[in-house]
Structure formats: C-alpha cells, structure tokens
C-alpha cells in the first residue's frame, strides 16, 4: 500500500474525536496515522499509562473503536508478549480471530520504566509493533525529566536556574538500543512527515517479529510553544537534524528523508520556552554545543548509512 495523498487516506477513524488530549497535542496524529496505515488489518492496542491512556479512556467513555488494553506504566512489552503468544495459539486452534498487536507508549514508558520489559520482548522476538510517542518528558504527571528529554531542556525536575541550565545529560539513543537486539525493523518518524511515518508503520506491522518506531510528538504544554505550531515544530526538528528520519532494516541504516533546506538548531529551539534560558547571552555556548552534537549525530547516521550500503 502506498500513501499518495492525504485525500486518499482511509476515512475510518479508530480513535474517535472527543478525547481529552490538550489542544495542539501531537499524540492523536501518532495514533490516527498509524491506524489508518493498517486499516485493512485487525488490530489490538496495548497502551502504557500516560497522556494517551488517561485522555482516551475516562470511564464510562472510551475513544477506542478497536480493542484496547491498558494495564500499567512499565510493562507494555510484557503484556504485548502475552497477547501475541496467546492469540497466535488461539487463532490457530480456531478459538479466536487473529489480530496484530500495536503498542503505544510514551518516552517515560519506553526509555525508562518500560525499558526492561521492552528489551525482554524484543529479545524473545514476539510479533508486534511498538510505537513510542516521544514528547521528551513525563507529560502526564506535569513535565518531569525523562531520559528522552533533550540536553538543556527545562522541565519541572530539571529546572533551568542560575546554577544549572536545565537537564545536563544527552537524550538516550533508543534506536541504538533496540537495534542492538537484532530486531528486523526499527525506525524514527515525525508527525510532520506522515507519508514516511505511515509507510514505516505498515512495514513494522508486516515484518515478522518485533518492530519499533520512535515518533517525535511535540507537546505544546510541556515545550511551551503556540499550540497552532505542533506540526511545524515536528517539521523543524526534522529540518534541523535534531530528529533525523531513519529506518534500520535488518541492521542496515537508511536515512529516509534528507531535509532539502537544513535549518539551524537555534531556529528550532527558539519558539519553545523550555529552551528560553539558552537565549540569554551567557548561554550562547550551550546552543553551540547542542548544534555540535546534532551535527555529529547527523554525520554518524550518514556514516552508518554508507557502511550499511557497502558492507
């Protein structure tokens, strides 16, 4: 299936409107594009505790038109493992209808508390797609730092004050971690590049065994930008090479989108008040440092791609 234009996308909405996510939240895009990409499959959703779960399932309401299960914050890899194994058995015995399993979990539920369960599931090789929507902090509890929070970002547990300029550590390389498990398919995606994202979701569902997609999901509430700019923020992250779009198929790295017009990291940081302190004159060097890291990472990915092509 190819996704040629927005107009031709399936009309079916598996996530109903009327959910309680913030205005300008990027999560619905993460979910809706994914489910449209596989609208010809039967799917079951496994969701970690977080914004998506809280805002779509306030009893007695639900936004989910497909079967959905939420249990805990840090165990989605394990819950998905159990569902996949069971439905494979039950459907082969004609006791149940087969379905594909898609996990949605935030960055906290993936990079931090859910990493062990995810790692176990990837290592064992159960057949499911794991989509991490990354808003770069624990947003449901009010914007606390996670290991996905970018360097020098201000969160409520990495305040930018006179002594410390926000989070001091770099973002964890989750793709590197999942690829190290030897899974057949891993990718990054951005809600601004829906065609790229949907193609990757389709591949992820169709590949036999576990697949992982890391999607950048701008969060106006935590990042503190104008809610109208969500898609633009997602696009700027890609254009600044802050969030490169790649895929790793059977260990081979490929950059799936090269920004035709690269922008500066500072242009991307500027509209976000989580980085406001970086624009004080004394913090100029911090922006330069981020730019340097971004450039280095882009170079690294290009090398990995080249290496994958040749060898």
Ligand X SMILES: Cc1ncc(C[n+]2csc(CCOP(=O)(O)OP(=O)(O)O)c2C)c(N)n1
Residues near ligand X (CB under 6 A) are 49-52, 73-74, 106-109, 135, 138-141, 146
Give 79 or 248: the residue with its C-beta nearer to other proteins: 79
Q: State which residue, 9 or 54, has the beta carbon closest to other proteins.
A: 54
Residue indicated by tokens 């964890």: 172
Give the residues lining the site for other proteins (CB under 8 A): 42-44, 46-47, 53-54, 57-60, 62, 64-72, 74-75, 77-90, 93, 95-97, 99, 116-117, 119-120, 123-124
Q: Which is nearer to other proteins, 116 or 292 (CB)?
A: 116
Query: Which among ligand X, other proteins, none contacts residue 140 (Cβ within 5 to 8 A by kind)?
Result: ligand X
The distance of closest approach from Cβ of residue 126 to ligand X in the complex, given in angstroms and rounded to an integer, is: 21
Cβ burial of 163 (10 Å; 0-12, 13-18, 19+) is exposed
Rounded to 10 degrees, the C-alpha dihedral 297/303/305/308 comes to -140
123: partner contacted, choices other proteins, ligand X, none (Cβ within 5-8 A by kind):
other proteins
Minimum CB distance to ligand X, residue 191 (Å): 14
Report the partner that residue 59 touches, choosing among ligand X, other proteins, none (CB closer than 5 to 8 A by kind).
other proteins
- The DSSP call for residue 7 is G
Which of other proteins, ligand X, none does residue 164 bind (CB under 5 to 8 Å by kind)? none
In the structure encoding, which two tokens stand for residue 266, read together?
């500072």
Q: Report whether the peptide linkage leading into residue 181 is cis, meaning its omega lies within 30 degrees of zero.
A: no
Q: Note the helical H segments in 125-229.
A: 174-179, 194-206
SS3 1: coil
Q: Distance (Å, rounded) from C-alpha 29 to C-alpha 233?
A: 14
Q: Smallest distance, Å, CB 60 to other proteins?
A: 7
Look at residue 135 and give the partner it binds from ligand X, other proteins, none, a contact being a CB closer than 5 to 8 Å depending on partner kind. Answer: ligand X
50 binds, among ligand X, other proteins, none (CB under 5 to 8 A by kind): ligand X
> Which residue, 76 or 199, has its beta carbon nearer to ligand X?
76
End-to-end CA distance of the chain: 30
Q: Which does 273 bind (CB under 5 to 8 A by kind): ligand X, other proteins, none?
A: none
According to DSSP, the β-strands at 100-106 and 68-70 are: unpaired
Q: How far is the CB of 86 from other proteins (least distance, A)?
A: 4
**In angstroms, what is the minimal distance from the CB of 163 to other proteins?**
36
Q: What is the DSSP letter of 156?
A: T
Q: Which is nearer to other proteins, 73 or 185 (CB)?
A: 73
Q: Which residue is nearest to ligand X (CB)?
A: 106
- Give residue for tokens 């700027």: 236
Helical spans, DSSP H, in 189-229 = 194-206
CB of 137 to ligand X, least distance (A): 6
The CB-of-52 to other proteins minimum distance in angstroms stands at 11
* Least CB distance to other proteins at residue 62 (A): 4
Q: Which is nearer to other proteins, 75 or 190 (CB)?
A: 75
Pairing state between β 245-249 and 252-257:
antiparallel
C-alpha–C-alpha distance, residues 236 and 42, integer Å:
34
How far is Cα 112 from Cα 141, in angstroms, rounded to an integer?
A: 15
- What DSSP designation does 243 have? S
- Rounded to an integer, what distance in angstroms lies between the CA atom of residue 298 and that of residue 304? 10
| Interacting partner of 70 out of other proteins, ligand X, none (Cβ under 5 to 8 A depending on kind) | other proteins
């Amino acid at each position: 299936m190819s996704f040629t234009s927005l107009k031709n996308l399936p009309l079916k909405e598996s996530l109903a409107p009327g959910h309680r996510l913030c205005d300008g939240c990027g999560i619905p895009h993460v979910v809706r594009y994914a489910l449209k990409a596989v609208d010809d499959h039967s799917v079951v959703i496994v969701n970690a505790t977080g914004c998506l779960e809280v805002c779509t399932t306030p009893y007695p309401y639900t936004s989910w038109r497909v079967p959905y299960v939420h249990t805990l914050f840090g165990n989605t890899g394990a819950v998905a493992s159990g569902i996949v194994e069971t439905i494979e058995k039950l459907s082969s015995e004609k006791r149940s209808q087969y379905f594909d399993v898609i996990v949605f979990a935030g960055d906290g539920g993936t990079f931090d508390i859910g990493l062990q369960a995810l790692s176990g599931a990837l290592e064992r090789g159960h057949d499911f797609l794991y989509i991490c929507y990354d808003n770069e902090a624990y947003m449901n509890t009010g914007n606390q730092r996670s290991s996905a929070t970018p360097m020098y970002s201000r969160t409520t547990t990495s305040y930018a004050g006179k002594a410390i300029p926000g989070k001091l550590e770099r973002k964890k390389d989750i793709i590197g971690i999942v690829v190290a498990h030897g899974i057949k398919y891993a990718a990054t995606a951005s809600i601004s590049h829906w065609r790229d994202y949907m193609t990757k979701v389709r591949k992820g569902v169709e590949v036999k065994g576990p697949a992982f997609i890391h999607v950048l999901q701008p969060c106006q509430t935590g990042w503190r930008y104008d809610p109208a700019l969500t898609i633009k923020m997602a696009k700027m992250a890609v254009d600044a090479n802050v969030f490169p779009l790649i895929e790793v198929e059977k260990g081979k790295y490929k950059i799936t989108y090269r920004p035709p017009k690269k922008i500066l990291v500072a242009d991307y940081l500027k509209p976000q008040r989580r980085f406001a302190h970086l624009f004080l004159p004394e913090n100029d060097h911090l922006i330069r440092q981020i730019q340097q890291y971004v450039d280095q990472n882009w170079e690294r990915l290009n090398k990995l791609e080249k290496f994958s092509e040749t060898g």
